[in-house]
Structure 1
Amino acid sequence: MIADLGLIAGVALLIWLALRGVNILLAVLLSILLIGLTNSIPIADVFLQHFPFGASGAFSFAGNFLLLFLCGGLFGRVMATSHAAQGVAMGIARRLGQRQALWIAMLVCALLTYGGVVVFVVMFTMYPIGVTLMRTANIPRRIYAAAIALGAGTFTMTALPGTPSIHNVIAARSLGTDLFAGGWLGIVAALVMMFVGMWYLQWQWRRAVANGENYVANDKDQQMAALAPSDDANLPSLMRSIAPVVIVLATIVLPRLLQSFGLTYEWQSFAAGQPVLWASFALLVGSLSCWLLFAPLRGQFVTAAGRGVDDAMLPLINTAAVIGFGGVVIQTSGFHEFAGWLLGLEIPSLLSVFVSANLISGVTASASGGLQIFMSSLAPEYLADGVAPELLHRIANLAAGGLDSLPHSGAVIALFTLMGLSHKEAYKDIFVVTVLIPMLAALVAVVAALLL
């Protein structure tokens, strides 16, 4: 009883500390100390074995995925420094018109994150441009924030096949699949998230206007507006700006494309068997293409690369810390009882995957953290139960992207901090577009997989 209560208290402590803005690494260390003490796990084992080096250890994860985070940070930074990210945003805004500001925010975020730009870089890119869009179209800040979250943190993260996102790579590396596994299910789920999410945001916008809710500027808006491009004419064109993103995706799809034409080469086996390295290589190629396409970047490339490394380290440390927390949790008897209960549910295996991956991601407030814990602890049982690796890859990815965006999610807190919002003001819309609708999309994918 004490052990189970300690496990619950440890999870609750992590959530409570995260909601109060405590550094996630410190919050994790305090939480695993509580779990270790109440579950009679030797403290030396907690801090020197299970947290850092276990199958779901922080250092184990960081070592395996360091290169991917670094290349993602590099690509995001050079896209920002070259103004290619802003070029994508302004190019789409010119074509759609500022009255379509919500679609602009969602599509730009989706394009950039699908191409591998780090989500925090995307948020920072869209906010300065968004000040103008919100002011012109009279969009309440909370609704614009939800549009950013929909584009940057849902379907491009877990659903669309081929994305170099950490979630897609975790599943591929754990299951021996490739980044396109379960692709058709992912596309179905992505369409549900995109169109149902945008329907909800447009509906909320109309309601807000009818109720007299308007865009209200704050001090941070003035600071961020100064960072927006002052002269669109000096930005690279949309086609040139989006080219590095296309190059990243083309590099990832190249091995499969050649195979479909009956062309096989030795390096294709490497690409299929090493998703971390191949996705990292694609992002590196995209970064080098920025150097070739944007002359002003060349003199700043080394500095931008260094800042890209800095951009990568905080997300890597935070994600690794959450996964290390899971590495301690899975040593407890309470977790094994919980896992046994999940596996013993009298429901189809894919529906059980949906439930278990969602719950684990909700506890950790991290899709990547929850997915890594799921893959190391529960995925072997589902494979033994006959679930195809390709289906497990996609359904687990989709499910992990549901409850990951609870109020203590690091990405949610970062977005609210950036835009000067509180949970009371804005979390309802974030919850709908990043939790409820992704869970609906995952259930649609589960039903489709069971019926077809």
Structure 2
Amino acid sequence: MGVLGILLSLGLLMFMAYRGFSVIFFAPVLAILAAVFSGMSILPTYTEIFLPNMANYIKVYFPFFLLGAVFGKVMEESGAAKAIARAIVAKLGAKRAMLSVVLSAAILTYGGVSLFVVAFAVYPFAASIFKEADIPKRLVPATIALGAFTFTMDALPGTPQIQNSIPMKFFNTDLYAAPVFGTLGAIIILTVGMFYLEWRKKSAQAKGEGYGVGHKNEPEVVEDRNLPNALLAAVPLVSVLVLTLVLQKFVFPRWDIVDMVTAEPYNMIEGGVVGTMNNWALMIALVVGIIIAFVINPRRIKGNVAKAINLGAIGSLLAVMNTASEVGFGNVIKTLPGFQSIAQALTGINAGGSPLYSEAITVNVLAGVTGSASGGMSIALDTFGAEYLAWADRANLSPELLHRVASMASGGMDTLPHNGAVITLLGIAGLTHKQSYKDIFAITLLKTSTVLILIPLQAIFNFV
């Protein structure tokens, strides 16, 4: 009955999300349903398991959501995001429409702009250039997803997205962990992903299918004024990447503060100090990026400072609450006897004596259960992180590989129908799951497969 309850609650959560209902409301409701099937009490499950885990996730990761959303909004209000996207599209042209959209989304994501903001910023250009090239609009979401939700989200070393920052506190690593593994993964995902999208485009056009008519949420063609130079617009993005690298690699390692932060009133655990300082580095870098984004185009940002900060802060609340609610759901599920059986099977995977397969599959499954890459990875590493670290030590594997595998695996099955980013992306484009989800899911399968392909290659060639 316990396993049945898990499957039923997960299926209903995906169904309700598919129908447009908020996971903030239904995640606790369906978590309690799963608990009831396992004989657990309703109110204690909600107040003592769901809420504390949801609150703890917000406590740890809210700064990244808040600063990332404000940064993205400032980039939007200053015109920097549009300037970058427009420059890429103009350079590559309509013949390479899909590549233009992918690169626009990728550069913004790698620069630290929130995935949700990237979708809003890139969609108008994507729709316009797809219409010009007569490419079916139903392929727009998958194209944006390839650029924003895959290799720049968690594969490329240095990406400041939250999916790349979560493993730091578990493995005492930094954003640049396993650079060769991540870079190879990014190349594979981009290359195969573009091949797939171009194949889908040619197949549709061969059947006479074009952009289509009668679409919802078609962007208005408005001529933007006072856009900054594209190179100047990229300065805030570059500053986030460079400052994070400098702080993590050169400044904080020389900063001996263990005695201070492990004493009253902070009482930090010594083993987590390195990961926490790496988090601080990203926070500082995002703050600096926000300040630079404000000052690069004063004519456009004038009068919009409060708007950018307020809208970014409000947007971050919805994003973090969606994810935190899914984390609460997943943590209720992980307390159930049925889940323990599943977890034992996952951690029992011992291919070649390496923890990487077990970690990849466990993170992927939990990301699918929660509908959240960051949420599923947090649950997996909270539960098994210490075990994987000890296992890697016995197998003489670098913790950096654990970091990169966990990060990349989280961005796989998280994009099931109840994923918040998928729902948001489809809503922005005015399309439905029926029209566009198949291609988003294909990109998801590519992402998942890439991790499982790289693990045996790493074992053969011993790269990190």
Q: Are 2:383 and 1:383 equivalent residues in the alignment?
A: no
Q: Are 2:53 and 1:31 equivalent residues in the alignment?
A: no
TM-score between the two structures when normalised by the length of structure 1: 0.92
- Write the distance in 2 (CA, Å) between the matches of 1:413 and 1:268: 43
Q: Which residue of 1 aligns with 2:244?
A: 252
The match for 2:370 among 355, 364, 373 is 364
Whether the 8 Å CA contact 2:31–2:329 is kept in 1: the answer is yes
DSSP 3-state at the match of 1:113: helix
- Which ranges in structure 2 are unaligned for 5 or more consecutive residues? 259-272
Whether the 8 Å CA contact 1:244–1:290 is kept in 2: the answer is yes
The match for 1:443 among 452, 455, 460 is 452
Offset at residue 257 of structure 1 (A): 5.6
Whether the 8 Å CA contact 2:248–2:278 is kept in 1: the answer is no
Whether the 8 Å CA contact 1:395–1:445 is kept in 2: the answer is no
DSSP 3-state at the match of 2:403: helix
- Write the distance in 1 (CA, Å) between the matches of 2:302 and 2:256: 30
Alignment of 1:351-430 (within 5 A): 351-386=357-392, 388-430=398-440
Q: Which residue of 2 aligns with 1:291?
A: 294
Q: Which residue of 1 aligns with 2:347?
A: 343
Deviations 1:286-325 (A, max 9, x none): 1100122111214321221111101111110000000011
Q: Are 2:162 and 1:166 equivalent residues in the alignment?
A: yes
Q: What is the identity, as a one-letter code, of the residue corresponding to 2:180?
A: W
**CA RMSD after TM alignment:** 2.0
Q: 1:272 to 1:413 in 2, by over 3 A?
A: closer
Deviations 1:140-163 (A, max 9, x none): 112222110100101111101111
Q: Which residue of 1 aligns with 2:261?
A: none
The range that moved more, 132-141 or 339-348, is 339-348
Q: Which residue of 2 aligns with 1:275?
A: 278
Q: Are 2:215 and 1:212 equivalent residues in the alignment?
A: no
- Write the distance in 1 (CA, Å) between the matches of 2:36 and 2:114: 37
Whether the 8 Å CA contact 1:155–1:190 is kept in 2: the answer is yes
Q: Which residue of 1 aligns with 2:265?
A: none
Whether the 8 Å CA contact 2:169–2:274 is kept in 1: the answer is no
Q: 1:346 to 1:67 in 2, by over 3 A?
A: closer
Offset at residue 238 of structure 1 (A): 1.1
How many equivalent pairs are there? Answer: 440
Q: Are 2:333 and 1:333 equivalent residues in the alignment?
A: no
- Write the distance in 2 (CA, Å) between the matches of 1:239 and 1:247: 12
Whether the 8 Å CA contact 1:91–1:237 is kept in 2: the answer is no
Q: Are 2:229 and 1:225 equivalent residues in the alignment?
A: no
Deviations 1:373-398 (A, max 9, x none): 11111222222223542111111111
- Write the distance in 2 (CA, Å) between the matches of 1:399 and 1:194: 16
- Write the distance in 2 (CA, Å) between the matches of 1:238 and 1:140: 29
- Write the distance in 1 (CA, Å) between the matches of 2:30 and 2:90: 49
- Write the distance in 2 (CA, Å) between the matches of 1:427 and 1:250: 36
Offset at residue 198 of structure 1 (A): 0.6
Offset at residue 48 of structure 1 (A): 1.2
Whether the 8 Å CA contact 2:327–2:375 is kept in 1: the answer is yes
Q: 1:219 to 1:431 in 2, by over 3 A?
A: closer
Q: What is the identity, as a one-letter code, of the residue corresponding to 2:101?
A: A
Deviations 1:195-226 (A, max 9, x none): 1101111121112111101012435354x224
Alignment of 1:8-407 (within 5 A): 8-53=7-52, 57-218=53-214, 220-222=216-218, 224-226=219-221, 228=222, 230-231=223-224, 234-255=226-247, 258=250, 265-266=254-255, 273-296=276-299, 297-348=301-352, 349-386=355-392, 388-407=398-417
Q: What is the identity, as a one-letter code, of the residue corresponding to 2:381?
A: M
- Write the distance in 1 (CA, Å) between the matches of 2:4 and 2:67: 41
Offset at residue 408 of structure 1 (A): 2.4
Q: 1:240 to 1:347 in 2, by over 3 A?
A: same
Offset at residue 97 of structure 1 (A): 1.6
DSSP 3-state at the match of 1:378: helix
DSSP 3-state at the match of 1:212: coil
- Write the distance in 2 (CA, Å) between the matches of 1:16 and 1:266: 49
